[in-house]
Amino acid sequence: MLALVDFIGRFHPVWVHLPIGILLMACLFQLFAKRYPLLKPAIPVLLFWGAITAIASCITGYLLSLSGDYDQALVTQHQWMGIATAAVSLIFYGLNRLSLTGRYTRLGAVVILILIMITGHLGGSLTHGADYLTAGINEAGTAQEMKPIPNIQEAVLYTDVVQPVLQRKCYSCHGSSKQKGKLRLDAEAQILKGGKDGKAIVSGKPDESALIKRLLLPLNDDDHMPPKEKPQLTPNEVAVLSWWISTGNSFTKKVKELPQPDKIKPVLAALQSGSSGEIAKKTELPEEEVGPADEGTLNKLKEAGIIAVPVSNETNYLSVSFVTAGSRAQELVKLLEPLKKQIVWLKLEDSNITDEGLAVIAKFTHLTRLQLANTKITDAGLAQLRSLQQLQVLNLVGTGITEKGLASLKELKSLRALYLYKTGVGTAAWARLKQSFPKTVLDSGGYTVPTLPTDTALVTADNKK
């Protein structure tokens, strides 16, 4: 039964447009009735149906308000204005039928118009939030990212750090205008009270607090918050909320009064400096967007047997492979020049590319993965790749590259993996290289799997283990 009530109630936002439209037409007809007398007979009919649909709206609206997801004060105002609209239009209809309106006809139309506008605005505030109309004007005030705090240690953790996060990412559904799941996060008492499913936070235990648990659920989980389509919290924001709960969710204490484990320090530092400060989490693709690749060039590549496909349907960045065109890579690599912004992955293993070809590749500034295994490139050629500031993975397996060549790549800040199996890098150079590339995983390869006697021994029924 409750479900049915809820179901009917949910028609309210759709249904209300009927009385709005019909009554609006009635009012307009009334206002122009003098000039176009032909409109007159339509007015009572419109008023009648307007009043009937308005009453139906009141009923569905009441059923919807039972869900309790909305700001009660606002709901009450909206409710009485709605009832007033229905009542006035019904009375006006009655007077109209009895031809008692006399010279007040126009006044009645204006009253109904005003009532509709007020009720409509209140209803809009309920569904879209009270600040919906002005959100565009106040955009600067609702920035999506954390604002820098000049002196983070002196700041009050709740009001200066936590509350702004909740305000940006949670209030729209758990604030003054809406209380989804009967949860409000915009006041101390309400946060502690929790919602329909119990307490939102367990003081000192972020892992057990529904507030944090839901943030950490996989995005596709139905219980994940914020819902998939809404702006998500950044890792730093989650870290701040979770730290706040773990330190006893004080609403008054300053940052410096609270214990600061190592994990939170970089987050606080980021808040102070105002850099977006996400804990350097590298994405596979460059941050900036690029335009689509040139069709003509793509066709040329296709004819030449070079594979070039977007790395996903969501981006214009390309993955390019010479897997079947390796023997002509040196001459063909120039074809890629018009795509120098789009290419992020380039596979040239076992190709005839030389240092000369690398000069072309050095222009592909968005390149994140470069595969040059088993090619004839040398240290001198490699130095040209210094320009590839986005490069994350470089595969030099089976090339003649030595420590000297790698030294020229030291400035590649994004480099996270360097594959050096079967290269000219000597064992003595290894420790030095590790120092030059502190953030890069250097893979020397050369792994062995020793042959054990048991590997080949055969167990038989007579020769049990």
* Coil, helix or strand at residue 463: coil
Told to check if 280 binds other proteins by CB under 8 A, we report: no
Tokens at 434, concatenated: 């590790």
- Residue where the block lists tokens 């120098």: 340
Task: Name the residue nearer to other proteins (CB basis): 37 or 218.
Answer: 218
Distance CA(301)–CA(282), nearest Å, equals 30
Told to check if 406 binds other proteins by CB under 8 A, we report: no
Task: Name the residue nearer to other proteins (CB basis): 234 or 368.
Answer: 368
Q: Which of 294, 344, 292 is nearest to 318 (CA)?
A: 344
Spell 424-448 as b/e; 16+ CB within 10 A means b.
bbeeebeeebeeebeebebeeeeee
Residue 224 C-beta: closest distance to other proteins, Å: 11
Q: Are the CB atoms for 275 and 333 separated by under 8 Å?
A: no
Told to check if 4 binds other proteins by CB under 8 A, we report: no
Residue 345 C-beta: closest distance to other proteins, Å: 9
Q: Are the CB atoms for 320 and 336 separated by under 8 Å?
A: yes
**The binder of other proteins chosen from 101, 125, 172, 395 (CB under 8 A):** 395
Beta bridge mates, 442: 418
Residue 365 C-beta: closest distance to other proteins, Å: 20
**The binder of other proteins chosen from 99, 144, 427, 454 (CB under 8 A):** 454
> What are phi and psi for residue 392, nearest 5 degrees?
-110, -40
What dihedral do alpha carbons 120, 124, 127, 128 form, nearest 10°? 170
Task: Name the residue nearer to other proteins (CB basis): 229 or 455.
Answer: 455
**The binder of other proteins chosen from 412, 419, 433, 440 (CB under 8 A):** 419
Residue 261 C-beta: closest distance to other proteins, Å: 23
- For residues 296-355, which are near other proteins according to CB under 8 A? 305, 307, 309-315, 321, 323-324, 349
Residue 425 C-beta: closest distance to other proteins, Å: 13
Task: Name the residue nearer to other proteins (CB basis): 427 or 454.
Answer: 454
Q: What does each C-alpha distance from 95 to 21, 24, 34, 91, 169 come to in angstroms?
A: 21, 18, 18, 6, 51
DSSP string, 147-160: PP-TTGGGSBIIII
Task: Name the residue nearer to other proteins (CB basis): 276 or 324.
Answer: 324
Task: Name the residue nearer to other proteins (CB basis): 139 or 314.
Answer: 314
Task: Name the residue nearer to other proteins (CB basis): 98 or 457.
Answer: 457
Residue 327 C-beta: closest distance to other proteins, Å: 12
Where on the chain is the footprint of other proteins (CB under 8 A)? 218, 220, 284-285, 305, 307, 309-315, 321, 323-324, 349, 371, 373, 393, 395, 397, 417, 419, 421, 443-449, 451-452, 454-461, 464-465
